[in-house]
Structure 1
Amino acid sequence: MAGLPWICRACRSVASTRGRTHNPTVSRRTVSTNTRFLHISEEVQQAIAEHRPVVALESTIYTHGFPYPDNLSLASRLESLVRVNGGVPATIGILDGIARVGMSAEGLIQLVSSAGKPGLLKVSRRDLGFVCGLTGADGKPLNGGTTVSATMILAHRAGIRVFATGGLGGVHRGAEQTMDVSADLTELGRTPVAVISSGCKSFLDIPKTLEYLETQGVAVATFADGRTGAVEFPAFYSRESGVTSPMVVRDEVEAARVIYAHAELGLQSGLHFANPIPARHSIPHRQMEAAIHEALGNAALAGATGAASTPYILAKIKELTGGKSVVANKALVEANVVRGTKVAVALGKLEMERADRHDRPESQVVGPGASNFTSTGVSLGVSAADTEAPVTASTTTRTLEPPPPSDAAASAADLPAAVFVAGSLNVDLACDFAPRTGSVAHGPELQTSNPATIAQSLGGVGHNVARAAHLMGANVRLCSAVGDDLSGKAALDALAASEMSAAGVKILPAESGSRTSQYVAINDRNKDLVLAMADVSILEQTAEASALAQSFDNFWLPQLQHSKPSHLVLDANWPAQHLARWLQAGKHAGAQIAFEPVSNVKGAALFQLPKPYSLDVFPDPSVHLATPNTHELVALYQAARASGAFERMDWWEVIDALGIPSTGARVQMALATSSDLVDRGIPQQSIQLLPFIPSICTKLGAQGVLLTQLLPANDPRLSSGEYAPYILSRCTNETEETLGVGGVYMRLFPAVETVKAEDVVSVNGVGDTFAGTLIAGLAKRGTGARVEELVDLAQRAAVLTLKSTESVSPGLGTLRLLL
């Protein structure tokens, strides 16, 4: 499945399966073998095998609920919501006569783009055999969106326990005459899948629907959603229906407990958890009832009955509510998907907790979802202010050890990755000054203790770049190091929780003096930085006999040689000695190498490699892409000049072949960029670096991005009218054939969005997000992918992070389909 990484599918095997033997509960989740008529995606199969939370999503809402491309946008949004909340989405539909559990981006686009066309079918249980077994009038296989009943069947075949959707079918009003009862209800009576929805459609007969579900033996409950006392079953667009819910659950954990007990008892009926629409989108029940009565009357007059009645009634309700019903529909389905994912995550933790208690001595149990590394309970992403008691470390030292491979996924290190990111992994602590009520103090007082809210998160340039690429769907492995300490344990736990592989993270022994990198920021009451402290010494070991040097030879190099990734990203936190090793190994593996300078000082290491290492130049450069900001670009230029790189004959031959006149090209540069940038020397310095780095994306903040590229000879862009405004120069001498130099492409990409100061949450990780998104796009699009086609998308991703409290915005998944 394009863009869905093996290594990310396997990442939970690093943390959640170590040290376990037989698990009688989880082993029931098995994946049916793919057949001629059923295909379960690799990602879903892997997630099921590793006991990770999977959430089924139906496709009728896309094929018969919304027009194209609105339905595609919704599909992307819902899958992203599942991923952001810790689950794996499994969109289910029928494509080319095959029932698919987990659809690729290409397949989903193919399915939903035909919405509204007569050949696209609405598939229930009764239709599955027909749609998969027959062809259309044109002799081609059939396509269809699956309803709740068909989705339940296929989800169950795949071993998926939780299904989130908008609303159920039910007993139609007047069913005593028409016998119109949705197949969704009978399916719930015989297929053990938990369905989270906002109840049945409000134009149905809710009391009769609940009665029918009781007859079918279906467990029905409503989420209290903060309410106490009697809670009413929701009426889809409205939070209340006038009908008391049969049962009530307070939260996702309680729902998970019900599902777990239901399965343990061997019950083969389904469960329905009704999630009320968010209050701000709820339409008053009386207002909806008036619109429904009118819509039902119009349907009767129009003769819309059976399967045709629902779309007719929904269209009429949309008209009568002035479109409010459509807005409400989107809001409730998003809320249901989030709720369903949290239920699936809670269920997975519950199963793992019970499995741990079954498999380990009671004294070793440390709680749901806890790692087997230590018993300290330290984790990332939890604010110290939110904990009920201070976190204390155990007095017993336990060594962090790499996990043994799981039966389901073997060792994650043995699974190839398309993108390697080698760089820093930090534990970041943000200490926000939190003065007591009534205090006028703006910032912390020196030389004493201050009240604060302390939050932990993962950071580091390497981690941020890898995280961004991972969220954009690339198959990523982060290569970094942590110490054998509490911070290292927390970092590994957090990686597992974010569904990223820890296979490339080396745990360096305590006796080597290695400490997990940490960054501590002390902020005032407005969260503006007062002071920061950083300890990143773990990657600064330069001795050949150091633990870091040994790790490269014995740990990272074998993984790189095995995977042969298409792309390798290096951040400048590595000292020059190890940076040289990575460059040499990456080139030998055939990877396209990108360089993230990190800072003015650290970026200079690229031109300070120890002998006999030195950077190769075009047409076979050591580095293919760099993503500096303007200050880092100047530092790179100065380091290159200081090192004598601009005195090399091979550098001069390439520069001379670029076709830039001896008088310079100031006017052309100013037209391609801006007079301000030319006055600052940014385009000129970029060009002089091109022989060593033939593609440079200089991040200009609010001014956008300047892309400078060395184009090879015979590149079609050199003769394209579309690209003509950006071709700064062309090779005009006889070296075109011998050196392969074609010319210089220079283009200033304006910022994709003007972000107001009040909307900026944090600048941390913005540049890393840009780089990670860019690399993800190049890796996923493969041979022929062009940087200029991805710059605006990478900028959009950076804007999401700019508005996020996290170093990489979890919302990046919403952009994945654009790749």
Structure 2
Amino acid sequence: MAILSRVAEVSNALPRHLVKRGFLQQRNFTLSARQYSQASLRGLGSVLRVSEEVRDAIATNKPVVALESTIYTHGAIGDLGVEDIVRRNGGVPAVCGILAGVPTVGLLPHEIDRMIEEKAHKVSRKDIASIVGKGFLGIKEHGGTTISGTMILAQLAGIRVFATGGLGGVHRGAEDSMDISADLTELGRTRVAVVASGSKGFLDIKRTLEFLETQGVTVSTFLCGRSPDQVTFPGFWATNSGYKTPHTMKDEETAAALILAQERMQIETGLLLANPVPDEYSIPTSETDAIVEQAVAESHEKGISGNQNSPFILQRIKELSQGRSVTANLALVQSNAECATKVAAHLCRMLARGNDARTTFCIPLSQADILVAGSVALDLHCDYAGAGKEHALQPSLYTSNPGHISQCIGGVGRNVALAAHRVNPGAGVRLLSVVGDDMAGNSIISSLASLGMDVSCVDKFDKPSSGGVTRTAEYIAVNGADKNLFLALADMHIFDSNTHSKGWGRIVAQSQPKWLVVDANWNSSDIIDMTKIAKSYNARVAFEPVSQIKSERLFDEGNGLQTFPQSSVDLSTPNEYELGSMHQAAKKNGHFGRRQWSSIHAAIRTLDLENHLSAVASEHQFDVAALHQIIELLPFIPNLITKLGSRGVIVAQLLSHDDPKLVDQAEGQYVFQPSSKHHDIGGVLFKFYPPMENVDDVVSVNGAGDTFLGVLVAGLACGGKIENLVDIAQRGAIMTIRTSESVSPLLSSLRSDLLRAASK
């Protein structure tokens, strides 16, 4: 019970939001901010403490560099100034160690002082369980972590890059002593990039490299302005050891690309990024060989081994070199800290920019069944709270109104993608969007990642194109007392004022989506470009109208929309107001006068639809003229699903000659076939779907339509049919209406029903 009590005590000391957001549960080191804002903390995770500064830096994709605490607790040089170097280069230092029995990432100066004063143990992988276990029993000992111990804590916290001085390795005479540093085996199993000046100069460098090769560790040396044929593996105090390096890197950006590739491929080994000591401090190998030989011989004579061996040899080398080794050691540690910070910064930029990083480095994307190209925004929801007055369902104009205000992450594209992801994560959903390089943009990326979404294609703009905007999008919704939207303001200029289509073709080609969802927040030319790209890769396209004004963009003049059966857009889900705006834009911009449309519409007019349309309009109190608008838009959007809010849904479909619904008796009363055969048109389905239930406990309607489309597309991507999925999509929308969130977190409960419906 004492152990359990101590575990509870330490766990309760952790920030609550880490526990709530799953920071202590997940293990998934892939590419996005999610992977590192919610790093694997299994096992040790229940007691790991991460400082607030480091935690926030990881969550907002800032460069973080891990540092070992043994340079303080067991170092022979004193203060190396590495933390200041990391900060001067724009990074956040994260000193790792065990403080009073608690594994800690981001040790503060007074905590390090305490560890030094109270004689911290030297802790490698093999020692961690012992010292942490004692902590459970109330025995609060400290541990300065070596390279292997620091790698473990860094990976658990989600830190990618670690700066040190020199790596441990195979000791001379290891064929008899079996003295091989745990640093090497740790590199073979822990995915952290270690920036070091090779292995310590008194080790057997040749056998160290061979051992690393056996462990499958990528070893690469910075060129530092030299040609590849001039570069060898660093010799710690010497720029060159004389032993060939397995790989070379041009600069820190290239090193960041290696880390990115390692993660994308899910290769669970570390990387050794070898950074030679600066030339001015280098001690040629010819000068150090004799000193090292003497120091090693003395250690053998005295019978010194294990973790005491390296400190003894280093001290003797310091004495025999008259302090030159100390000067070189200080220089290389500081150089490595600067190098590691630059590597981490390049990696953060790659992750944040997403598209640019993949374009530059040709890093492939995995396949995604659903690609959602749409908006993500910072949402402000304002609910009017003045319903106490009789008939005061809406706020008053030109004055202040009482209300409840909440802030969250939203955006139509984000909501659609999240709904599809939640209802069927196995489908593979990828969001393609943009944010600004600002606080809101960083928060959005972190939020998306924490929800488990793929953010590899969420681009971050820091420089606008000509006349462009780089501020993250924002949306303000004002709802009446009945929770229905009264007024909304949207600042989505980042989507419609920049040129976005560059690189989209590669994203679609690599994602190979079954469905592309594009929302109307993009400018008109981007919308059309995206639909053309998707069609060229045999993807089906869904258009989300977003709003009355923006829905018109699909039908801008000169857009060149293709008609059935080669339609540019396969599906759209407007509400009745967006439907009217789309129809008006199509009419105003001459789309109804095109020959291809006229031919198809003439065939539709031969159908005996009038009585059916009149009956639907009468029974459901709907304007028959609006039903005719649906029919007239079908040649451009052959699957048009009009959302009527609490009144249900109307589904209209243009059918080809081989569509099974033409002979389906269950659908027969809703299917109308032309009296004379048309070479493209087999018929039209027109069906009203009543609401699944009357909802009295409305919390917010924001996001309900987006949820409807996300659930629907998730089913379609599984091979489902619209007629079998509409009611499930309605149920998903109702779930969202009953929550303050823009996408209900309960959508996963629909998964089995969705997959069952999709299999019909």
Task: Give TM-score, length-normalised by structure 1.
Answer: 0.48
How far the C-alpha of 1:514 sits from its partner, in A, is 0.8
Query: Residue 790 of structure 1: SS of its match in structure 2?
Result: helix
* Cα displacement (A) at 1:583: 1.3
CA displacement at 1:678 relative to structure 2: 5.8
Q: Say whether 1:480 aligns with 2:426.
A: no
The answer to whether residue 695 in structure 2 is matched with residue 755 in structure 1 is yes
Q: Structure 2 matches for 1:440-455, cutoff 5 A?
A: 455=406
Report the equivalent of 1:778. Answer: 716
Assess if the C-alpha contact under 8 Å between 2:523 and 2:553 holds in 1: yes
Letter in 1 for 2:694: T
- Mapped to 2, the partners of 1:528 and 1:686 lie a distance apart of 24
Counterpart residue number, 1:156: none
CA distance in 2, matches of 1:725, 1:683: 17
Report deviation, 1:455. Answer: 3.9
Q: CA deviation at 1:745?
A: 0.7
Aligned partner of 1:487: which letter?
A: A
Preserved contact between residue 484 and residue 701 of structure 2 (Cα < 8 Å): no
When residues 640 and 357 of structure 1 are mapped into structure 2, their CA distance, relative to the original with a 3 A threshold, is closer
Q: Once the two structures are superposed, what CA deviation does each residue of 1:237-293 show, in whole Å capped at 9, x if it has no partner?
A: xxxxxxxxxxxxxxxxxxxxxxx999834999xx9xxxxxxxxxxxxxxxxxxxxxx
Q: Which runs of 5+ in 1 are unaligned?
A: 1-7, 30-259, 272-348, 362-397, 436-441, 542-547
Q: Provide the C-alpha distance between the structure 1 equivalents of 2:650 and 2:563, rounded to a whole number of angstroms.
A: 21
| Offset of residue 495 of structure 1 | 0.5
Residue in 2 aligned with 1:489? 442
Per-residue Cα deviation, 1:211-258 (whole angstroms, up to 9, x for no partner): xxxxxxxxxxxxxxxxxxxxxxxxxxxxxxxxxxxxxxxxxxxxxxxx
How far apart, in 2, do the equivalents of 1:671 and 1:789 lie? Answer: 23
Q: Residue 617 of structure 2 contacts residue 623 of structure 2 at CA under 8 Å; is this kept in 1?
A: no
Q: 1:262 to 1:804 in 2, by over 3 A?
A: farther
| 2:501 aligned partner | 552
The whole-number CA distance in structure 2 between the counterparts of 1:721 and 1:530 is 43
The question of 1:617 aligning with 2:557 is answered no
Larger relative contact order (C-alpha < 8 A, sep ≥ 6)?
1
2:572 pairs with 1:626: yes
From 700, 722, 728, give the equivalent of 1:787. 722
Q: Could you tell me the TM-score, scaled by structure 2's length?
A: 0.51
Distance 1:497 1:634 in 2: 38
Structure 2, unmatched stretches of 5+, are: 1-25, 46-124, 137-151, 165-344, 387-392, 755-760
Q: Secondary structure at the match of 1:669?
A: helix
Q: Distance in 2 between matches of 1:445 and 1:641?
A: 36
- 1:517 and 2:466 aligned: no
- Do 1:627 and 1:771's aligned partners in 2 also have CA atoms closer than 8 Å? yes
Q: SS at the partner of 1:13? A: coil
Cα shift readout 1:706-745 (whole Å, capped 9, x = no counterpart) = 0011111132221222111111x2133242xx32x11111
Identical aligned residues as a percent? 37
SS at match of 1:760: coil
Which residue of structure 2 aligns with residue 697 of structure 1?
641
Tell me, yes or no, if structure 1 residue 602 matches structure 2 residue 576: no
State how far apart, in whole Å, the 1-side matches of 2:127 and 2:479 are. 49
Q: Provide Cα deviations, 1:491-531, integer angstroms capped at 9, x if missing partner.
A: 00001110001111111114554110012457899989887
**Superposition deviation, residue 696 in structure 1:** 0.7
Amino acid at match of 1:460: G
Instruction: Tell whether the 8 Å contact from 2:376 to 2:435 is kept in structure 1 after alignment.
Output: yes
Give the secondary-structure state (helix, strand or coil) at the position aligned to 2:516.
strand
Q: Per the alignment, do residues 261 and 593 of structure 1 end up closer, same or farther by CA in structure 2, a change over 3 Å counting? A: farther
Kindly indicate whether the alpha-carbon contact (under 8 Å) linking 2:376 and 2:434 is maintained by their aligned counterparts in 1: yes
Residue 557 of structure 1: how far off its partner (Å)? 2.4
1:732 matches 2:597: no
Distance in 2 (CA, whole Å) between partners of 1:525 and 1:718 is 45
Matches within 5 A, 1:329-478: 354=157, 356=159, 359=162, 401-403=349-351, 414-430=365-381, 455-473=406-424, 474-478=427-431
- Whether the 8 Å contact between 2:364 and 2:510 is mirrored in structure 1 is no
| Cα distance in 2 for residues equivalent to 1:10 and 1:491 | 20
Q: In 2 relative to 1, CA 803–451 (structure 1 residues): closer, same or farther, beyond 3 Å?
A: closer
Preserved CA contact (<8 Å) 2:383 2:483: yes
Question: Cα distance 1:802–1:446, how it changes in 2: closer, same or farther (>3 A)?
Answer: closer
Aligned residues: 436
Q: In 2 relative to 1, CA 450–350 (structure 1 residues): closer, same or farther, beyond 3 Å?
A: farther
Q: For residues 626 and 515 of structure 1, what CA distance do their matches in structure 2 show?
A: 29
- Report the residue type matching 2:409 in the other structure: L
What do the CA deviations read for 1:335-389 (whole angstroms, capped 9, x no partner)? xxxxxxxxxxxxxx9986656499479xxxxxxxxxxxxxxxxxxxxxxxxxxxx
What amino acid is the match of 2:712? L
The answer to whether the Cα contact below 8 Å between 1:11 and 1:496 also exists between their aligned partners in 2 is no
Mark the CA change 1:726 to 1:453 in structure 2 (over 3 Å): closer, same or farther.
closer
How far apart, CA to CA, are the structure 2 residues paired with 1:712 and 1:24? 51
1-side partners of 2:642 and 2:712: how far apart?
Answer: 13
Question: Which residue matches 1:722?
Answer: 666
SS of the aligned residue for 2:731 comes to: helix
Go from structure 1 to structure 2 and tell me whether the alpha carbon gap of 1:28 and 1:652 turns closer, same or farther (over 3 Å shift).
same
| 2:748 corresponds to | 813
* TM-superposition CA deviations, 1:461-490 (whole Å, max 9, x none): 111111111111131111110011110000
1: CA distance between counterparts of 2:598 and 2:40? 68
Shift of 1:599: 1.1
Structure 1 counterpart of 2:732 = 797
Distance 1:571 1:809 in 2: 20
> Cα gap change, 1:524/1:412 in structure 2, threshold over 3 Å: closer, same or farther?
farther
* 8 Å contact from structure 2 (residues 372, 416) kept in 1: yes
CA 19–444 in structure 1, closer or farther in 2 if over 3 Å, else same: closer
Q: 2:4 aligns to what?
A: none
Give the aligned residue type for 2:438. Answer: D
**Equivalent in the alignment of 1:540:** 496
- Deviation for aligned residue 1:694: 0.6
Counterpart AA for 2:459: K
Q: Which has the larger radius of gyration?
A: 2
Q: Distance in 2 between matches of 1:461 and 1:520?
A: 13
Distance in 1 between residues matched to 2:700 and 2:736, nearest whole Å: 8
Matched, 1:652 2:630: no
What's the RMSD between the two structures over aligned residues? 4.3
In structure 2, C-alpha distance between the alignment counterparts of 1:747 and 1:24, rounded to whole Å: 49
Aligned to 1:584: 532
Q: Structure 1 residues 600, 360: CA separation in 2 closer, same or farther (over 3 Å shift)?
A: farther
SS in 1 for 2:561: coil
Q: Is the 8 A contact 1:26 1:351 kept in 2?
A: no
Shift of 1:25: 8.0
Partner of 2:13: none
Secondary structure of the structure 2 residue equivalent to 1:754 = coil
Q: How does 1:70-469 map to 2 (within 5 A)?
A: 264-265=129-130, 354=157, 356=159, 359=162, 401-403=349-351, 414-430=365-381, 455-469=406-420
Q: Does the 8 Å CA contact 2:36/2:158 hold for their aligned counterparts?
A: no
Distance in 2 between the 1:434 and 1:797 partners?
Answer: 26
The structure-2 alpha-carbon separation of the partners of 1:11 and 1:575, relative to structure 1 and needing over 3 Å to count, comes to farther
Q: Write the deviation string for residues 88-125 of structure 1: whole angstroms up to 9, x where unpaired.
A: xxxxxxxxxxxxxxxxxxxxxxxxxxxxxxxxxxxxxx
Please, which of 683, 690, 693 is the counterpart of residue 627 of structure 2? 683
Q: Deviations over 1:287-342 (max 9, x none)?
A: xxxxxxxxxxxxxxxxxxxxxxxxxxxxxxxxxxxxxxxxxxxxxxxxxxxxxxxx
Letter in 2 for 1:761: V
